[in-house]
Structure 1
Amino acid sequence: MTASGYPKIELHVHLEGAVSPPALFAAARRNGFPLPVATVEELADFMRFRDFEHFIEAWFATTPALQTEQDYRELVVDYARRAQAHGAVYLEAIFSPCDKLDQGISLDTVFTGFTDGVQAAREELGIEVRLTPDITRGVDLEVAKRTAEHAVRYKERGIVALGLGGLEAQFPPEPYAPAFEIARAGGLGSVPHAGEVAGPASIRGALDALHADRIRHGVRAVEDPGLVRELADRAMVLDVCVLSNVRLSVVDSVAAHQLPRLLAAGVPCTVNTDDPTFFACELDEEHAAARSLGADPRALFDAGVAGALCGEETKARLRAIADGFDWAALPAEPAAG
């Protein structure tokens, strides 16, 4: 069925964090953006995760090279091609329009480029991509509302939800409720980051104030058994990123990850790359890590279908892919050590 063993759904990948070094290098050349290195090889090494401080340094030294509609369109197609090679049959991808405003790049440029990429991925690769732009925590609340309004405006071009990203511990979700009300009134879903570097209160705020349809990360829910039961009762899908959590010291190791406890409690979980270029983890590697913790590939796929915010026609095609695949024939993954 796929080049990498079995079909996958990915619902949590930051496109700026997935840009390939060659594509980023080419964009920097086109746009006259000064990179801190001289070759693609040096760029790949510079972008590779070392620690959180270096990740932030590398992010802000490289991703602002992406400035034009062409850059954003190509970014979608480039990652869709990579994910497809690892078995992805459907993607919901994140971009951060607020971050571009300080560079003088308009929201229209950003939204047009990324949504053009949705169409290009469909035409060139035959893969369905949907987009979930993030409000960056800490931006002016008027900017947050403008971002929500643009997301609604581009709904027919592949935008399916509004997200909230950035510094979770410093900026709780509640103040962003007006922006999410705009999105909800316009027919979009709610997919905030919560429960990654902050605890259960962040998840509770995402549920109560932002009316989350899905939680990005959510792994720290295990600190509150009552919240875990509620997530399971609500069939609230969590976008889990095992290797990202290890890289960012949310957990000490793959073996210590919260995923088995969430699955045992009946919380549906998907597996995702988060920022695959920076964290050096492609979709196959994330799945291998999750399977080493006992995750079942078919259950991960089914959670992806349940959590996806596409239309019913697309969901029906995804279910047909799952029903047509021989999941029982997959070899077992060695347990995490």
Structure 2
Amino acid sequence: MSLASFVQQLPKVELHLHLEGAVSASTFADLAALNSVALPKPTAELYSYDNLPDFLKIYDLVCASIKSAADFSRVTFEALERCAVAGARYVELFFSPHAHLAHGVSYSTMLGGVLDGMRRAKEKYGIVCKLIPAHSRELGPERGEQFLDMVLAERMPDVIGIGLDYNEAPFPPAPYVKMYERARSEGLNVTAHAGESGPAENVADSIDLLGVRRIDHGYHVVDDPALIERCKEAGIVFTCCPSTTLATTVWRDLAAPGHAIRRMIEAGLNVTIHSDDPPMFATTLDREYALVMDNFALSPEALKKIALAGLEAAWLDNETKQAWMSEWSAEIDGLLKTELLPN
């Protein structure tokens, strides 16, 4: 078996995937034409950017192009289909309600379409998906309370938590303490993007003030050795996305000894690997695993550890998690017993 085949067949979870960032360029162009959204570039050049704000401009255009329940069902199904092909068995999917509300799309329409796409993907591929609506930190805490009101008013069993995302550096986590306290009191899981373009302090505040135990990205934790030790002791999970770092962070070379994800793994932090916005960064979940294996000189056994750490970090009930942990571990051990040949 080739290493590429091993990586693809490795059972995985996807904990850091944005629905709107998982739309292929061709589907984006189709929906833009259908819904009268003007595009700034030819289809082949749409997904080209050099920093987080430029990326978010395109991301917002994708959001503007998804209007009907059928559109939401289509992009959800296609995103989960690609996850399944890449070896994902379980997905926790972020989506950005505010970006669709701004274009007159109701939350009910979004949710209905996404749930339909999830149902169709599960029927065809067996892939299980849960939802994490995320608030844009750029909109402020008052809008955040309104966002949470909306999520709670139409809460479905498949909506399992909330996130905090968009342009991080100018918008620290502290203003969202009340929103996060209320979300936790209502039984929602919580996570937050931190330490991607913002400082290590944002990671610390997300943990200390927002009460999260899972940090999305988190790369600037490497700037604070004391925080690294705190995160290790607390078992904080970092959902890292290698390809994204090449456009949205100061770490632009995965092969560099100082790349943040490499340093996080070497420091013993609880790092899991995910794809973030895969078509927008020309990647897939299995490719992200291959990138860290190749660039960080990780063994297949190390990839097993990362895959199972992702499952352990998932917001699943304990009975399901333990059953899958046993099944996946045995399945991966079976793959490891085969001769693994270079690609």
* TM-score using structure 2 length: 0.88
What is the rounded CA distance, in whole Å, between the counterparts of 2:211 and 2:74 in structure 1?
32
Contact 2:69 2:114 (C-alpha < 8 Å) held by counterparts: yes
Instruction: Encode CA deviations 1:185-244: one digit per residue, 9 max, x unaligned.
Output: 111111100011111100011001111120001121111111111111111110011111
* Pairing 1:316-335 to 2, within 5 Å after superposition: 316-319=322-325, 320-325=327-332, 326-329=334-337, 331=340
Cα displacement string for residues 262-281 of structure 1 (whole angstroms, at most 9, x for unaligned residues):
22332111111111111111
Offset of residue 88 of structure 1: 0.9
Q: Is the 8 A contact 1:173 1:205 kept in 2?
A: yes
Question: Residue 226 of structure 1 aligns with which residue?
Answer: 226
1:258: which partner in 2?
Answer: 260
Paired residue type of 1:20: S
1:16 aligns with 2:20: yes
Aligned-pair CA distance for 1:324: 2.3
Instruction: State the alpha-carbon separation in 1 of the partners of residues 153 and 323 from structure 2.
Output: 27
Cα gap change, 1:213 to 1:113, in 2 (>3 Å): farther
Q: Which residue does the alignment assign to 2:38?
A: 34
Q: Tell me how far apart the structure 2 counterparts of residues 3 and 302 of structure 1 sit (CA, whole Å).
A: 13
Contact 1:218/1:238, CA 8 A, preserved across alignment: yes
Structure 2 CA distance for partners of 1:33 and 1:332, relative to 1, 3 Å: same
**What residue ranges of structure 2 are gaps of 5+ in the alignment?**
none
Asked whether the equivalents of residues 222 and 228 of structure 1 are also in contact (C-alpha less than 8 Å), the reply is yes
The letter for the 1-side match of 2:27 is A
Contact (CA 8 Å) 1:183, 1:189: kept in 2 or not?
A: yes
Q: Is the 8 A contact 2:245 2:251 kept in 1?
A: yes
- Asked if the contact 1:130–1:310 (Cα under 8 Å) also holds between the matched residues in 2, the reply is no
Q: Structure 1 runs of 4+ off > 6 angstroms?
A: none
SS at match of 2:9: coil
Task: For 1:316 and 1:82, locate their aligned partners in 2 and report how far apart those are by CA, in whole Å.
Answer: 26
> How far, CA to CA, are the matches of 1:162 and 1:250 in structure 2?
27
State how far apart, in whole Å, the 2-side matches of 1:57 and 1:96 are. 14
Aligned to 2:99: 99
Matches of 2:247 and 2:194, distance apart in 1? 17
- 1:297-312 equivalences under 5 Å are 297-312=303-318
Aligned-pair identity (%): 29
Q: Is the 8 A contact 1:47 1:59 kept in 2?
A: no
Superposed displacement of residue 118, structure 1? 2.8
Quote the Cα distance in structure 2 between the aligned partners of 1:4 and 1:135.
Answer: 32
Aligned to 2:166: 166
Q: Distance in 1 between matches of 2:68 and 2:152?
A: 21
Q: Output the CA distance in 2 between the equivalents of 1:236 and 1:149.
A: 28
| Cα distance, 1:5 vs structure 2 | 3.4
The alignment partner of 2:34 has SS state of: helix
Q: Note closer, same or farther for the CA distance 1:54–1:180 as it changes in structure 2 (3 Å cut).
A: closer
- Cross-structure match for 2:271: 269
How far did 1:69 drift?
1.8
Q: Give the conservation status (yes or no) of the 8 Å contact 2:196–2:217.
A: yes
Contact 1:149 1:182 in 2 (8 A): no
Root mean square deviation of aligned Cα: 2.3
**Count of residue correspondences:** 329
**1:49 corresponds to which residue?**
48
Distance 1:321 1:154, change over 3 A: farther
Amino acid at match of 1:265: A
Q: How does 1:180-329 map to 2 (within 5 A)?
A: 180-256=180-256, 257-292=259-294, 293-295=296-298, 296-319=302-325, 320-325=327-332, 326-329=334-337
Q: Which moved more, 1:170-179 or 1:307-316?
A: 307-316
TM-score by length of 1: 0.89
Task: Please say if residues 291 and 333 of structure 1, whose CA atoms lie closer than 8 Å, have aligned partners that are also in contact.
Answer: no
Relative to structure 1, the CA distance from residue 72 to residue 157 in structure 2 (aligned partners, 3 Å threshold; closer, same or farther) is: farther
Q: Give the distance between the partners of 1:65 and 1:277, measured in 2 at CA.
A: 16
Unaligned runs of 5+ in 1: none
